[in-house]
Structure 1
Amino acid sequence: MRITPLLLILTLLTTPAAAQLATGHPTKNSFPLAAGNTAAPILHDPADHPVVARAAADLASDIRAVTGITTTATTTAPIPGTRPVIIGTLGRNRTIDALVRAGKLDVHRLRGAWESFLITVVRRPAPGLPAALVIVGSDRRGTAFGVYELSQSIGVSPWHWWADVPAKHHAALHIAAGTHRFGPPSVKYRGVFLNDEDWGLHPWAARTFEPENGGIGPKTYERLFDLMLRLKANTVWPAMHHVSAPFNRNPANAKLADDYAIVMGSSHAEPMLRDNVGEWTDAPDRFNYATNRDGVRAYWDERVRTNARYESLWTLGMRGIHDSGIVGADTPAGKIDLLDRVFADQRAMLAANIDPQVDRIPQMFVPYKEVLDLYRAGLKVPDDVTLVWPDDNFGYIRQFPNAAERRRSGGSGIYYHLSYLGAPLSYLWLGTTPPALIRTEMTRAFDQGARSVWIANVGDLKPAEIGVTAFLDLAWNVEASRTQTQATFLADWTARTFGGKTSQQIADVLNRWYTLNLERRPEHLQWWLPGQRARRSPLTPTQIDTRLAAFDALVADLDRIEPAIPPAQADAFFELVAYPVRAAALANRRYFAAERYATTIDAQPAIARRWGADANRSDTAIKALTRRFDTIAGGKWRGFMAEEPADNQWTSYRTVPLALPAAGLVDDSPPPTLSPASDPAIIEAESVEPPQGWRFVAGLGRGTGAMIAAGGTASLSYDLTLTTPQSLAIDILPTFPGGGGDSAFHLTVTIDGHPHAIVIPRTTGDPAWSAGVLDNLLSVPIPGTLPPGRHRVTIASADEGLALDRLRLAAPQ
């Protein structure tokens, strides 16, 4: 799965410069897509792929949504004198192939390219036709991507259905003259994994959208596949929990995916496109390759035979049912031997049913959780199989390919989480992973050679719309996206989604919201783990008041913005902005008010009861806000949204429901503001200019950003003046070193010329990691005490990926 060199990639219409492709007025030699109450007819070839016909029909619908002008998608020849849109795939559209033969369409950079396309105006393409707008793809997805690129450029959001973003109205549409080239993508296979669907996607599909199928089925997947193409994604891992019917149980699903040109895969725990929790009908202990090889092999072989005709991304390997550990061997050596046999048998099935040259079949292996330890212990993966490296489930990639792995013909990929059900605590509710973190980790991965497969675990898909967009924008075109900061990405996204004078204000609210939630997600407002004794948060009164004031400021800004939102955008604004921002603010106020009630009820009962009332009011408001999700868009999303925790399932991975005081124990008077207490002094890492070898990433960390080490000998220096003795700690984000995975960061902290060698172990699953991913911070104390006076502190690390957030000074304990 080697990636061919990038073709010329013009700036996409997802950036401000892209406005030159579609405008509302004619320009020199532009093409009138819709003007004078007439829209161009859309021509495609009946011999082309099914996805092309679907995309052509969607384009006609999109033009009508933007302009109100009706046009048609047809396979008949255009009427002389008209200016048609001609859509087709090289070698599958007779009109386009004739233009190529006549020298009117230069496609030499499309031939053999992966998922690439041209949008170009051709003069006099045939007798009687003054001009045509031609969208030509190198392959079936390239053609579809070209069509949806045009749709996005005229004002139709990829989230037009999933987030109810209305089309932007224009009375006329004109397409700039010239040839606009796009692709190939930066990452070959790009897409999403629907997961942990028990509390959102499944109940909504079962009760509201697709009750005839009892849950997620062809209707839901059809909408998902439309979204994927509009986001220029090509791969889906389907939902696979107990509540959902297995994707391949209904043959209509696989056929639908093929019609949409979507590559179907399966998760790290579901090899060979098998949904074990729904499809393995033998006894659970029989899912054991050591004792029941024939039974398991027949189970896999059946899927290979039924899906051999479809384009698939085959997951190799084996774990236990429902993402549990591998069975059949007790030692690492025994498990490696077992997986060696599994690989050989799985590849033999693929060779026998799909292609004898098995290295031409897309395959991947995901060394997830303990399987990564087996890989590090010597497990050999066939060279043509893509190694898909996992993050730590919280957005920090555990391992990046080293030099030898970058030379593998199968290349590398990334399995990344935007939602997670698991230890130490899940996050399933509000989609708070910041775009800055996504961009930082995924560009690190790309630069270190992970370019074959990128899959994001998106949970229920809603409300992770912004994170999904950020992830897939990068996967399509890393170079165009890597230069954006979180603030500029959000400004661009809100401009495309909402437009108008409020878009920048919305972007500013979201930017601050991500920063606050990076400090602690709403799903992590509990400072003890399941099974531990409850304990209060470590935040000081000043920190709590500051945090709540920051959330109050966000809500106040929303209150000013919301009246200016046009009625047509009200549902989208609620889903994408108002609900997540208000819910997070209320969750924080509810938690800290309840905590203050519990800690002051004995000593200050009158004040405590006022905090109790504040907690109860916040809880009532969250529930009312969540119920509102059932009524927006005419009840379209009834049953989709549930606050976390939604029920008492998987309690070992989720926060406990917050205990609130009874109504008779509270006082509805406003709660008091506590007096400030002494807090540590903070020196933000970005307070100095980064030298070569370090880069500043805005939006990452607790200040305005963080400093990321590129690896080498460069250092950061800070001058301090102290009036009292102080202890020093440095705070870093819980990233992992590049190229090595779970190992350690090594840094040198030099104070006034005296170096301190610091080692920061990075091991997933240990207490430091648990605290780090919940706080999105690792605090590293520096030995000794700084006396009053002037000091120079210098920090250096040769490890790529060290993310320095800040230095903290405090009175010695």
Structure 2
Amino acid sequence: MLTARAPDASAAADRDYISFRPVGGGFTLAANGKAAPLFVSGGDFPGVVRVVDDLRDDVARVTGVRPTVSTGTPSSGEVVLVGTVGRSTLVDGLVAAGKLDVDRIRGKWETSLQQVVEHPMPGVRRALVIAGSDQRGTIFGVYDVSRRIGVSPWHYFDDVPARKHSALYVRPGSHTQGTPAVKYRGVFINDENPSTGRWARATFGPGLAPGQEGGLNHRYYEKVFEVMLRLKSNYLWPAVWGRAFAEDDPLNHATATRYGVVMGTSHEAPMMRGIEEWKRNPTRYGGTGEWSFLRNATAVRDYWADGIKRMEREELEGVVTLGMRGEGDTSLPDGDGVELMRDIIASQRQILDRESGTPLAEIPQVFTLYKEVQRYWDRGLRPPDDVTVVFADDNWGNMRKVPDPSLPARAGGYGLYYHFDYVGGGRNYKWVDTINLANTREQLNLSYESGIDRLWVVNVGDLKNEEAPTQFFLDYAWNPSSIPADGIKDWTREYAAQNFGDRAAPAIADVLHTYGQLQARRKPEATNRRYTRGAAGAITTDDTMTPYSIENYGELDRVTAEWEALAAKADVVGRTLPAADRDAYYQLVLYAAKATANLYALREAQFLNRWYASQGRAATNDLAATAEARLADDVAMSDYYNTTLAGGKWTGWQTQTKIGYGDKARYGNNASWQEPPAPDQIYPALQRITGPTAAEMGVAIDGSPDWWPHATGQPMLPEFSPYQTSPAQYIEVFNRGTTPFDYRVTPSVPWLNGASGTVTEQARVTLRVDWAKAPAGRTTVPITVTGAGRTVTVQAVVHKPTAPKSGFVEAGGYVSVEADHYTRAVTGNGVSWSHLPDIGRTGSGMRPSPVTAADQTPGGNGARLEYQVNLHTTGPITVWAYLSPRNNVRPGAGVEYAVSLDDQAPRTVNTTTATGSDDTAMNKGWEMNTLEAVNRTSSTFTVSSPGVHTLKFWAVDPTAVLQKLVIDTGGLKYSYLGPPESHRVTPARVAG
């Protein structure tokens, strides 16, 4: 039976052991222009000896005073002693003398303490001891001091200046950050072209092995290793795009050892060899050169054996990837034979046993169930018990599988492979950070509670650009209990304070929080693709359409305005910062916010341009010019990043394309998902028209893609209601010619406003009802629009219902409710409800708890959420449930929930089968769910009478996350996010 491993009881970090004012009994690290000298045993681990130099530099960054470093023994004053238990003569001497108690860390994995010790040795008055249970424990202990005194882990990668202080003190007592909950906590540098590829070559030079100039050398990896260790990460999958870590620079392995980082290789690169090593010379071991164990086994085995020999020869600490995939992140050409994969793993372990002097059970090994490899597991393949089985997400942040709780525990345990960056179908996302931390935390929590705690690794793309989610991932892996579901805002505030100080942190955290909410809706690379599900369930895509609705609920306008408001706020916050912080702010906050807002403004102008062109509007060409101006703004921001920011340090970094996806005519069939070549182009293409000279009136209305008098049907506005929350209805009068004309909008009743004026290009008339004068019930109001010799009559239906007493009120033919705005949350059968702040595209989410509970049977006294709704409509209704796009991670047929209305029987919906999602085949159903960051499924009910009703959402699968419920009473229109939440007449919320 699987159980999640609880973190060490001492894992709650001592957050305040550093003071900037004197403390009684404390240790003076720096004051009055002097800094305590640093001592480390020369016989300690290489990574420990090296990190003391970083501590020296960090103290200097903060105070301006550079302490000395010595490998000798101190004899006077106050000193800092750094060392590893069992390896440091300094630390072991204190332990032997009874001066230091290390029982709380001894024998533990990567655990450290910081302790002030009085009279530690002859002549020494006081010492700050930073001791570790092992090499990385000591390193992490040192870097924890660095972070707390004011040095950001991102000081190099984002030019974050140290927080300046004239004095540094350490409080008395013993302090610890606990033992990590997850043993191996890794990052994967991937998809690193063009940004890292161009910048690293310009900054650090080419690969240092003959013929491997495109590689990344040890000078680059020194910076990667440092930031990893500052973040308490211990494990790396190195860059793979045309690169081979071991071959590109003969010093790369030695550098990893010197820093104390555990090396691995990605899911496609077994036996400690990057797949590029095979591609560069596929016949060096004889044979056919084919990457096939079935047809070229001898050569492949020899190739693998050399990887293990090299690891042993160079004494590299590594985690060995087992299994085999095809070249270029593909499935094996030999198909999905379980027996073949079993033979591959057996052969690899024979090589390990032969070439390594370590017992097999003591060699860390992983078998990663990425993409098609999961099929082997699903078909019964079980690697040897000491191998860590790594479950993967679907490349979009949704786990595909967690361990079956009925399986026995594995000696090798379980791991996970996660994504903050992706190249592949349905579309790449690798430009800026697009990660919703609430979603990430929920899936990491699911994994940890399901027993996945041996190894976590995340694809971070270039690493830079993904700073916040990377640090969040690693912080959570260290201590999951430190970041509860409602603690993400607190974490974000601490992250902002780490980089910009306490004073600026609240405002910056607010910008970052809003940024994450907005990015959670849609990857910016996919803002020119719309999915449509036909009546028979078939899904089509259109890369010339915005997913957001132009005509319904003011959606595209609202979303663009939200982004522009965020960019403006980010600008204001940035101007309040000291000049020294502004380069870091541009990199960590401002660029992503402003550039994404600019992209949304470009898309709005682009799609309005195409829409207007189809109607012959005179404003068409102006919008083309606006879109081109936004492209120029994008280029200007990138140029500033590449040439001016931080004195030109980031040459070539901001060169990732993101706008021209989908242009198959220019880029070929892969353009629908693969990044377009530079320079970026606007796709779909802008349109320009030449209109007639004479004035010609056209009329467009809210809620319709048509225009009149061109369209033949009657123009009908969305229904007016005093309870509507969608934007006010409007009529647009536009010119199809170049000569201005006078227009008039005249309602047939006095309690609905009209308007008049002169149209050069177009005029929008916003319609408002005087509800005090409007009659009760439904009234149809003709509105006459005249201009340029034409007349169009628009119909408006105005509904003034009896005032509702409670619940969410129907208006415009729908009721829309955010998940956490329930009337009553009912606990049943040991299952309650967890509130997940900000996990949804438009708000928060609700999920049954615990997430490891068994599937529930809906009905009776089962766990449910109840929502009071006030309906005016009777007859058939459709209830749409918006859920996070979860895959079927547990045994069973799919992710299920149930819905009922009043006392009607619950209707169970299987979201997996209803949406046709297959995360293994990565079919259109899965693609639509993941790109839209939601799955939408429906149930139908009959309403027999108007008034207050109770909509119930029942727990079935505890992994299902509800974001939103929408009741379609007959007027629901297309929108990407769903209609705005309905007006609520609010009784007190009840917990039950």
Q: TM-score range by the shorter chain?
A: over 0.9
Distance of 2:443 and 2:322 partners within structure 1 = 25
CA distance in 2, matches of 1:774, 1:786: 34
Letter in 2 for 1:687: H
1:558-578 CA distances to partner (integer Å, 9 max, x unpaired)? Answer: 232121111111111000100
Structure 2 counterparts to residues 8-87 of structure 1, below 5 A: 8-9=9-10, 11-12=12-13, 18=15, 20-80=16-76, 82-87=77-82
- Answer yes or no: is the 8 Å Cα contact 1:717–1:794 preserved in 2: yes
Q: Does 1:536 align with 2:535?
A: no
Q: Tell me the secondary structure at the aligned position of residue 798 of structure 1.
A: coil
Q: How does 1:515-554 map to 2 (within 5 A)?
A: 515-528=517-530, 533-541=542-550, 542-554=554-566
Of the structure 1 ranges 358-367 and 402-411, higher mean CA displacement relative to structure 2 is found in 402-411
Distance in 2 between residues matched to 1:545 and 1:433, nearest whole Å: 23
- Higher RCO (Cα < 8 Å, 6 or more apart): 1
State the partner residue of 1:506.
508
Contact kept? 1:239, 1:247, Cα under 8 Å = no
Structure 2 CA distance for aligned equivalents of residues 220 and 777 of structure 1: 39
Counterpart of 2:918 (choices 749, 763, 769) is 763
The 2-side partners of 1:614 and 1:665 are apart by 17
- Residue among 290, 298, 307 paired with 1:303: 307
Q: 1:633 to 1:356 in 2, by over 3 A?
A: closer
Counterpart of 1:272 in 2: which secondary structure? coil
Amino acid at match of 1:163: D
Aligned letter for 1:661? L
For 1:89, give the aligned amino acid: T
Which residue is equivalent to 2:819?
685
Which residue does 1:795 correspond to in 2?
Answer: 953
Residue 510 (structure 1) shift: 1.5
Unaligned 5+ residue runs, structure 1? none
State the Cα distance separating 1:406 from its structure 2 match. 5.9
Look up the match of 1:195. Answer: 190
Q: CA deviation at 1:537?
A: 2.9
Amino acid at match of 1:173: L
Superposed CA deviations along residues 532-555 of structure 1, whole A, max 9, x for unmatched, are 554423533311111011112102
Give the aligned partner of residue 261 of structure 2: 262
> TM-score when scaled to structure 2?
0.77
User: Which structure 2 segments of 5+ residues have no match?
Assistant: 532-538, 661-666, 692-737, 739-759, 768-795, 797-811, 857-861, 972-992
Q: 1:113 to 1:591 in 2, by over 3 A?
A: same
2:148 to 138, 146, 153: 153
Q: Which residue of the partner structure matches residue 230 of structure 2?
A: 230
SS at match of 2:453: strand
Contact 1:434 1:518 in 2 (8 A): yes
Q: What is the DSSP-based 3-state SS (H/G/I as helix, E as strand, rest coil) of the residue aligned with 1:48?
A: coil
The aligned counterpart of 2:655 is: 642
Contact 1:718 1:794 survives alignment (8 Å): yes
Name whichever of 756-765 and 184-193 sits farther off. Answer: 756-765
Provide, for residues 670-722 of structure 1, a one-character-per-residue CA deviation record: whole Å limited to 9, x for no partner: 99879699695420000026444220111210333101123444111111101
**Which one is further off, 442-451 or 645-654?**
645-654
Choose from 607, 615, 628 the match for 1:616: 628
* Higher radius of gyration, 1 or 2: 2
Q: Tell me how far 1:770 sits from its aligned partner.
A: 0.9
- Count of matched residue positions in the alignment of Structure 1 and Structure 2: 800
Cα contact 2:619–2:761 (8 A) shared by 1: no
| Matched residue SS, 2:940 | strand
RMSD: 2.6
Residue in 2 that maps onto 1:312: 318
Cα 1:663–1:568 shift into 2, 3 Å: farther
Q: Report SS of the residue matched to 2:78.
A: coil
Q: Distance in 2 between matches of 1:491 and 1:686?
A: 24
Determine the C-alpha separation between the residues in 2 that align with 1:397 and 1:293: 33
How far apart, CA to CA, are the structure 2 residues paired with 1:665 and 1:386?
66
Higher alpha-carbon deviation: 711-720 or 469-478: 711-720
Query: 1:654/1:123 Cα in 2 relative to 1: closer, same or farther (>3 Å)?
Result: same
| Higher mean C-alpha displacement, 720-729 vs 50-59 | 720-729
Contact 1:390–1:414, Cα closer than 8 Å, also in 2: yes
Q: Secondary structure at the match of 1:251?
A: coil
User: Is 1:104–2:99 an aligned residue pair?
Assistant: yes
- Mapped to 1, the partners of 2:815 and 2:574 lie a distance apart of 37
Task: Tell me, yes or no, if the aligned pair for 1:239 and 1:246 is still in contact at 8 Å.
Answer: yes
Structure 1: how far apart are the matches of 2:688 and 2:901? 55
Cα distance in 2 between the residues matched to 1:589 and 1:628: 20
Q: Which residue of 2 aligns with 1:804?
A: 962
Cα deviations by residue, 1:178-227 (Å, 9 ceiling, x for unpaired): 00122310100001001111211111112333246434211110000001
1:602, distance to aligned residue in structure 2 (A): 3.4
Equivalent-residue separation in structure 2 for 1:632 and 1:212 (angstroms): 26
Residue 795 of structure 1 aligns with an amino acid whose one-letter code is F
Change over 3 Å in CA distance of 1:389–1:674 after alignment to 2: farther
Q: Percent identity?
A: 32
Distance across 2 between alignment mates of 1:105 and 1:71:
24
> More deviation in 456-465 or 551-560?
551-560
- 8 Å CA contact 1:4–1:113 kept in 2: the answer is no
AA at the equivalent of 1:621: D
Cα deviation for residue 645 of structure 1 reads: 3.3
- Give the secondary structure class of the aligned counterpart of 1:801: coil
Matched, 1:654 2:674: yes
Superposed displacement of residue 792, structure 1: 1.0
Task: Say which of 141, 157, 160 aligns to 2:136.
Answer: 141
SS in 2 for 1:617: helix
Hey, what's the Cα distance between the residues in 2 that align with 1:768 and 1:679?
Answer: 28
Letter in 2 for 1:685: A
What does residue 128 of structure 1 align with? 123
| Change in 2 beyond 3 A, CA 1:246/1:310 | closer
Which amino acid letter does the alignment assign opposite residue 715 of structure 1?
A: R
- Map of 1:732 onto structure 2: 883
Secondary structure, in 3 states, of the residue corresponding to 1:84?
Answer: strand
Q: Greater CA deviation, 676-685 or 38-47?
A: 676-685
Structure 2 Cα separation of the partners of residues 721 and 804 of structure 1: 21
Q: Give the counterpart letter for 1:763 in structure 2.
A: D
Tell me, in whole angstroms, the C-alpha distance in 2 between the residues paired with 1:197 and 1:380: 33
> Take 2:394 and 2:932, find their aligned partners in 1: how far apart are those partners?
14
In structure 1, C-alpha distance between the alignment counterparts of 2:567 and 2:9, rounded to whole Å: 44
Write the distance in 2 (CA, Å) between the matches of 1:439 and 1:147. Answer: 27
1-structure distance, mates of 2:833, 2:651: 48
Q: CA deviation at 1:661?
A: 3.2
- Counterpart selection for 2:932 from 737, 757, 775: 775
Q: Please say if residues 131 and 141 of structure 2, whose CA atoms lie closer than 8 Å, have aligned partners that are also in contact.
A: yes
Q: Give the TM-score normalised by structure 1.
A: 0.94
* Alpha-carbon distance change, 502 to 76 in structure 1, aligned in 2, over 3 angstroms: same
Q: 2:896 corresponds to which letter in structure 1?
A: H
Partner deviation per Cα, 1:613-666 (whole Å, 9 max, x = no partner): 221221111111111111211111111112433885963523664335379989
User: Secondary structure in 1 aligned to 2:117?
Assistant: strand
What SS class does the counterpart of residue 126 from structure 1 fall into? coil
Structure 1 residues 437, 229: closer, same or farther in 2, change over 3 A? same
Instruction: Report the counterpart of residue 556 of structure 1 in structure 2.
Output: 568
Deviation at 1:592, TM superposition (A): 2.0
Distance 2:244 2:377 in 1: 32
Secondary structure of residue in 2 paired with 1:763:
coil
1:420 CA drift (Å) = 0.2
Partner of 1:436, secondary structure, is: helix
